[in-house]
Chain A
Amino acid sequence: MAVFTRTTKKLILRIDEFFDNVELGVLVFREGIKSYINKDIEAYKRHLQKVDALEGNADKLQRTIENDMITHSILPQNRAEVTTLIDKVDEIIDSIKRSLNEIIIEMPEIPSELNKDFITLAEASANAAEELIPAARAYFKAPYTVREKLLKVYYFESETDKLSLNTKKRIFQEINGLDMAHKAHLRYIVHHIEHISDLAQRAADLLSGMAIKIVM
């Protein structure tokens, strides 16, 4: 019985730590984008390093959580869904790391007229991912409240879509003096930022179904 309790405690802590990592990763992403827009490359590199460490730790935790759940036969009926959820949440921090890495490699030149657009877009996209975490935590403690928490994820995802569309419109129709390659490059960065909220929405869809199943 003591073995059960110890494993359970450790697993709960690991799941919490995993969500902490992703949550911090989202915060760092937001700050990272701001640093890049403000041309503070040193700070950006620090943020990138931090995200790299968080992503590595999240991967390790993800693997340990899956191992623990299988070897100790924890949540046998919901295990597949829980591991898929953790995988989908992990994709968010993976995508954050990938995006920040690509920005530092490609060093896109963002016109100052678009600074605000990019920051707002990154904020909205990060908000969607950020709001997913309390909902995911609630699945484990109060599944009745998951769906109401997910509303914010859907709201910020749709906001991100609107902002992304608007930014792309400005890039291609309003900002003068940019060649097509530059415009295409900026659109590519917009897609990267927007992708984070899309991933949050996909995880939210799964979580919503999981919550109904566990409450029934």
Chain B
Amino acid sequence: MILFFLTSGLFLGWSLGANDASNVFGSAVGSKMVSFRKAAIIASIFVILGAVIQGAGGAQTLGKLGAVNAIGGSFTLALAAGVTVYMMTKFSLPVSTTQAIVGAIIGWNLFTGNKTDPGTLSKIVATWISGPLLGAIFAILLFILLARIKKASKVHIIRFESLIKTWLIIVGAFGAYSLGANNIANVMGVFVPAFNLNHLDLGLFTLSSAQQLFLLGGLAIAVGIITYSKKVMETIGTNIVELSPEAAMVVVLAQSLVLFIFSSSGLSDLFVRLGLPSIPMVPVSSSQVIVGCVIGIGLYKGIRNINFRLLGEIALGWLATPVMSGLMTFFSLFFIKNIFGIDVGHKVAEGIRESGLITGAPDSSTSEMIRYILIGIVIISLVTGIVYYIIDRRKQTELRASEEKFWKNMKK
């Protein structure tokens, strides 16, 4: 039953993988610089690593906005956010999973009578604006730097492109890591307070309850990337066709830096130690940050390149997504609670912040199931990798043989 409640979060993770992985590898795959297979494998691995290693920060901030204290509530909230994302995508409206989940949490707060912390909310909303802005600044600076290096080095364009290709993979891996670290909170953040799993010992390291949830969320994102992101990546790539490969790399790097900054507690601590204000650990919309980066490059190249209509649509999305998601959550919670009689959460007394919201013994069977899922994935990945390697080798041998035959016939 517990796993059933997780399905809505996993669905949200799947849609995030299908849509947002294109922000990281879209331009590389669309411009044929990196093959989809390579991009999907790298993105999947690093998104999971980011989610498990660095996913806690954003989840804590969402928890401060509203600590959903019943599994039924988490399920409904994630489902409402997922349906909002799906509906808005269907009507071709710009949508962000982050904004949908924030709207859903506020909807839950309203329904259960919990107070929405205005400080946390303003911190989150501020990053919706500062994220794309920071992305634009990073993109401009990195673009100028790269253009200067290229002009000064007089490197052969084929060698330069080969370097860019390598960097697109490295930056893409970093982007996927940052996406996992920052956006896993959207997928699994609302389930963290409602789950209490046994620690999972994997020999080299141990996964906490939250990390196991992030791992499942990361896997859902990876499935989304592998099964559904190809079309989106190819479309995104052709949409940003004006971007040269180096500009595409700059955009991905700038976006990854923004996502990383808003999910790195280490960096935030360093800021505090240096006497600077701390960086809020907030999930930001990768789609909106990437639009900010592209606009940054557009600004650098000349104002005519900017699509102001797109800017207007994003601004509309900032308002429409949380409102729609909040309303949907509110009404869904009403139905789930009154028709199915499922506990969707309760009001927490003022001034008390619940930490372990689900009491009782930790759930060990789910942890064991996660262990078996992991073993299964490792085996499947190994077998698939070996099969693809053999197919690739065979293709290369056939190509070489046909080339040799051609030149032999030409000599005759």
Question: Which positions 6-31 of chain A face chain B at CB distance < 8 Å?
Answer: 8, 11-12, 15
B161 pairs with A74, CB closer than 8 A: yes
User: In the complex, which of the residues A12, A76, A140, A141 contacts B31, with contact meaning CB atoms closer than 8 Å?
Assistant: A76
B residues near A60, Cβ cutoff 8 Å:
407
Q: Does A1 count as interface, using CB distance less than 8 angstroms?
A: yes
Q: Total A-B residue pairs with C-beta atoms closer than 8 Å?
A: 44
Q: Does B399 count as interface, using CB distance less than 8 angstroms?
A: yes
A73 pairs with B32, CB closer than 8 A: yes
CB proximity of A135 to chain B, nearest CB, Å: 14
User: In the complex, which of the residues A74, A77, A142 contacts B158, with contact meaning CB atoms closer than 8 Å?
Assistant: A74
A residues near B165, Cβ cutoff 8 Å:
4
A75 pairs with B157, CB closer than 8 A: yes
Q: Does A5 count as interface, using CB distance less than 8 angstroms?
A: yes
User: In the complex, which of the residues B151, B158, B399, B403 contacts A75, with contact meaning CB atoms closer than 8 Å?
Assistant: B158
B35 pairs with A73, CB closer than 8 A: yes
A12 pairs with B159, CB closer than 8 A: yes
B32 pairs with A144, CB closer than 8 A: no
Cα separation A142 to B153 with both chains bound (whole Å):
9
B155 pairs with A141, CB closer than 8 A: yes
B407 pairs with A141, CB closer than 8 A: no
A140 pairs with B156, CB closer than 8 A: yes
A73 pairs with B157, CB closer than 8 A: no
CB proximity of B310 to chain A, nearest CB, Å: 22
Q: Does B298 count as interface, using CB distance less than 8 angstroms?
A: no
A71 pairs with B32, CB closer than 8 A: no
Output the nearest chain A residue to B248 by Cβ-Cβ distance: A77
B120-164 toward A: CB 8 Å interface, digit per residue (1/0)? 000000000000000000000000000000010011111101100
CB proximity of A72 to chain B, nearest CB, Å: 9
Q: Does A67 count as interface, using CB distance less than 8 angstroms?
A: yes
A residues near B407, Cβ cutoff 8 Å:
60
B residues near A142, Cβ cutoff 8 Å:
154
Apart from A4-B166, A73-B32, A77-B31, what 19 extra A-B contacts exist at CB < 8 Å? A8-B159, A8-B162, A12-B158, A12-B159, A60-B407, A67-B403, A71-B399, A74-B161, A75-B158, A76-B32, A76-B33, A77-B244, A140-B156, A140-B157, A141-B155, A141-B156, A141-B157, A143-B157, A144-B151
Chain B residues with CB under 8 Å of chain A are 31-33, 35, 151, 154-159, 161-162, 165-166, 244-245, 399, 403, 407
